[in-house]
């Protein structure tokens, strides 16, 4: 049990990696800077912003989210579950004649099946987002508290290929970063 708890804690307690971060104050300049940094060969790049930015996915090569597939699979499972459950309870496990209606009254079960489909699809999508994004995290390191308010940051970890702090600092400055700092994220 203690082992499990420490395992779980290890999963949610995020150990940051050291690296270099540049901070921008204007969103359009930031997206442009992200694109140029990415094109300069820095593929291992995090772009942090207080709200979703138009065009950032293109700029730093993030593919379209694959979550819709998970939604589809679980939605289908919900549909099959609803179909099976209404059939099994009403026609197999304890069939009861209600007003002479068929034991397996498919039309009357559609609302239940529909709600199961929606419920499975919605909860699985949110669950998938939480798992894929590595949430929940306890006290993750943050570069600047204003990154959830009005500032934008690019972060490159030391583990990145061809990491050269001096070069990157110059690159960020030349792209209009208002601040560059070595930090943890």
Signed CA dihedral, 140, 146, 147, 153: sign only: negative
Alpha carbon distance 176, 154 (integer Å) = 12
Contacting other proteins (CB under 8 A), which of 32, 44, 46, 169? Answer: 46
- In DSSP terms, which residues pair with 160 in a beta bridge? none
Q: Which residues in the 57-96 window bind other proteins by CB under 8 A?
A: 57, 60, 62, 64-65, 67-68, 71, 85-86, 89-90, 93-94, 96
Helix axes 27-39, 165-174, angle to 10 degrees: 140
Determine, following the binding rule CB under 8 A, whether residue 150 of this chain makes contact with other proteins.
yes
Q: Are strands 152-157 and 46-48 parallel, antiparallel or unpaired?
A: antiparallel
Q: Which stretch binds other proteins (CB under 8 A): 3-11, 40-48, 161-169, 175-183?
A: 40-48
Determine, following the binding rule CB under 8 A, whether residue 132 of this chain makes contact with other proteins.
yes
Q: Which stretch binds other proteins (CB under 8 A): 1-9, 122-130, 163-171, 172-180?
A: 122-130
Determine, following the binding rule CB under 8 A, whether residue 49 of this chain makes contact with other proteins.
yes
Query: Under DSSP, is residue 177 helix (H, G, I), strand (E, B) or coil?
Result: coil
Greatest CA span in the chain, whole angstroms?
A: 82
Alpha carbon distance 115, 125 (integer Å) = 15
Binding site for other proteins (CB under 8 A): 12, 14, 28, 34, 46-54, 56-57, 60, 62, 64-65, 67-68, 71, 85-86, 89-90, 93-94, 96, 98-99, 101, 105, 108-109, 111-112, 114-116, 118-119, 121-123, 125-126, 128-130, 132-133, 135-140, 142, 145-150, 185
């Amino acid at each position: 049990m203690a082992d499990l708890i420490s395992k779980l804690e290890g999963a949610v307690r995020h150990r940051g990696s050291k690296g270099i971060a540049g901070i921008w104050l204007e969103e359009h300049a930031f997206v442009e800077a992200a694109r140029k940094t990415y094109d300069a060969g820095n593929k291992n790049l995090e772009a942090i912003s207080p709200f979703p930015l138009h065009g950032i996915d293109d700029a730093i090569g993030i593919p379209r989210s694959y979550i819709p597939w998970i939604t589809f699979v679980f939605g289908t499972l919900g549909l099959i579950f609803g179909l099976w459950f209404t059939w099994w309870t009403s026609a197999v496990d304890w069939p009861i004649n209600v007003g002479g209606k068929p034991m397996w009254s498919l039309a009357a079960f559609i609302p239940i099946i529909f709600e199961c489909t929606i419920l499975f699809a919605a909860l699985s999508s949110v669950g998938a987002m939480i798992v894929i994004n590595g949430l929940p995290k306890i006290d993750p390191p943050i570069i600047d508290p204003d990154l959830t308010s009005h500032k934008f940051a690019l972060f490159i970890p030391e583990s990145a290929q061809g990491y050269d702090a001096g070069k990157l600092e110059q690159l960020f400055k030349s792209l209009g970063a208002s601040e560059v700092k070595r930090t943890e994220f």
